[in-house]
Amino acid sequence: MIFPNRDNSLKTSDFYYHLPKEYIAQKPVHPRDSSRLMTYNRESSTVNHKRFFNLIDCLNPNDLLILNQTRVIHARLFGRKIASGGKIELLLLREIDKMTWQAMVGGKGLRPGTQIIIDQGPGAIIREDLGGPLRLVQFQEPIEPFLDQIGIVPLPPYIYETLSEPERYQTIYARQSGSAAAPTAGLHFTDKLLNSIRERGVRIEQVTLHIGLDTFAPVQTEDPREHIIHREWCQLPEQTAYAVNEIKIMGGRIIAVGTTSVRTLETAARSSPIRGKIDPFEGETDLYILPGYDFQVVDCMLTNFHLPESTLLMMVSAFAGRKKILELYEIAMNKGYRFYSFGDAMLLE
C-alpha cells in the first residue's frame, strides 16, 4: 500500500546521491558496538557524532526499544540439472510451504518441469517461472533442515570480501529463521550494551520481519509511487503490542531499530481502529512509506546508511525530511562514516 505524497512532483532521482565505493564497508567492526553513531534531533536540528556504545546516553527510562529478531538463513545453494549435469545455483527468498520456496536461480534452461538436485541435499523440480530469475521450486523433502550444513549465508551484492565469521551477519538476538538479509541496524548491539540499556530502565521487545533481497533493489520507475513494493512477512506479538501501548500512555518513546521494525510497527498501526494504538499482527505487509507519510507509532528510528534511490532511503526521508537526510549523508561522507550493511549507524530522534 502506497501512502500519498504531498509533493506530486517528487521523483526517484530526488533520492540519488553519489557514494564513492571506498565508503562501502566490506567488513564489520570489532567489537560490534565500536561502530560510529550519528545522532540527529529533528526538533532542535542538532547533529552529534558518537560511538554506538554511547547510544545508552541517548535513551531515557520508559523508552521502548523494538528489535527485529529475524535470522538470516543459509539460503544460497548449489546443485545441478539431473538431465544434463549443468550447474545451477539457488537463492531461497521465501518459504511458501515446507516443500516449496520462491527462489532466485542461476543457470541455463531452468524452465518449469526441470528436475534438479542440490549438492548434498534433496532433489527438486522447477514448478513455475515467476519472471526474470525468479522461480517456484518444489523440493522432494523439506529443505530447511539441510540449510545450515549445505547452504551459504548470502551477503549483499555490494560486499565483495569473504566473511570469515558468518555469525557477524546475524544480530546477537536473531532467533526466528527466514530472512535472505540481515536487519543491519541491529548488528551493532552487544549483550553488554543491551544489558546496560535494560539497567537504565529502557524496555526492550521484539518483532519479526523476514527480509527479502528486494530490500537492496533501487527503484526503477521515474515516479517512486509507481514502484511495486516487495511484500514481506512480519509478526508483532501480543506482548510487544501491549508494551507499545503502555509506553505511549506513560509518555515514553518508541524507538524502532531498523527500517524493518518501523515497517512492522506501522503496519500494525494502520490496521488498528484507534490512532496510535496497535494490536498484535501477523501476515504480509505491503506498506510503502514515502515522504508525506504520517507516522503513527514510531518516535525515533535507529538505522544504517542506505543505498541511493532505494525504498529504505525514501522511508528515512519520510521520517526526517528528504533534503535533511541527504545533507546528513553528505556530512557522514565528509567525516568518513562507513555505509551500508556493515557500516555505521544513525539515530533519528
Q: What is the pTM of this model?
A: 0.91
HSE toward the beta carbon, residue 331, CA cutoff 13 A: 15
Contact status, residue 162 vs residue 154, Cβ threshold 8 Å: no
pLDDT for 157 equals 84
Query: What is the pLDDT confidence band of residue 40, given thresholds at 50, 70 and 90?
Result: very high
pLDDT for residue 3 is more than 70: no
More confident residue, 344 or 131: 344
pLDDT for residue 314 is more than 90: yes
pLDDT for residue 220 is more than 80: yes
pLDDT for residue 60 is more than 90: yes
E-only strand ranges, the chain: 36-41, 46-51, 64-68, 70-72, 76-81, 87-95, 100-106, 115-118, 123-131, 134-139, 176-179, 203-209, 232-236, 254-257, 281-285, 300-304, 345-348
3-state secondary structure of 333: helix
Query: How far apart are the C-alpha atoms of 319 and 305, rounded to whole Å?
Result: 14
pLDDT for 133 equals 87
**What is the fold of 12-72+163-348?**
QueA-like (3.40.1780)
pLDDT for residue 272 is more than 90: no
pLDDT for residue 4 is more than 60: no
pLDDT for 94 equals 84
pLDDT for residue 258 is more than 90: yes
What digits encode the pLDDT tens for the residues 168-182?
999 999 999 999 899
pLDDT for 87 equals 94
pLDDT for 329 equals 98
Domain-wise residue ranges, the chain: 12-72+163-348, 76-150
Average pLDDT, integer, range 229-235: 90
Concatenating the DSSP letter of every residue in 201-270 gives T-EEEEEEEPPPGGGGPBP-SSSGGGS-PPPEEEEE-HHHHHHHHHHHHHT--EEEESHHHHHHHHHHHH
3-state secondary structure of 156: coil
What digits encode the pLDDT tens for the residues 282-299?
999 999 999 999 999 999
Q: What percent of the chain has pLDDT over 90?
A: 81
3-state secondary structure of 336: coil
What digits encode the pLDDT tens for the residues 162-219?
888 889 999 999 999 999 899 999 999 999 999 999 999 999 999 999 998 766 677 8
pLDDT for 104 equals 87
Average pLDDT, integer, range 108-131: 94
Element (H, E) at 329: helix 322-334
Average pLDDT, integer, range 291-317: 96
Query: What is the pLDDT confidence band of residue 7, given thresholds at 50, 70 and 90?
Result: low
Q: What is the mean pLDDT of the chain?
A: 93
pLDDT for 179 equals 92
pLDDT for 209 equals 97
Average pLDDT, integer, range 134-161: 91
Query: What is the pLDDT confidence band of residue 228, given thresholds at 50, 70 and 90?
Result: confident
3-state secondary structure of 157: coil
Query: How far apart are the C-alpha atoms of 182 and 195, rounded to whole Å?
Result: 22
Query: How far apart are the C-alpha atoms of 249 and 309, rounded to whole Å?
Result: 37
DSSP symbol at 187: G
Query: What is the pLDDT confidence band of residue 1, given thresholds at 50, 70 and 90?
Result: low
pLDDT for residue 262 is more than 90: yes
**What is the fold of 76-150?**
Thrombin, subunit H (2.40.10)
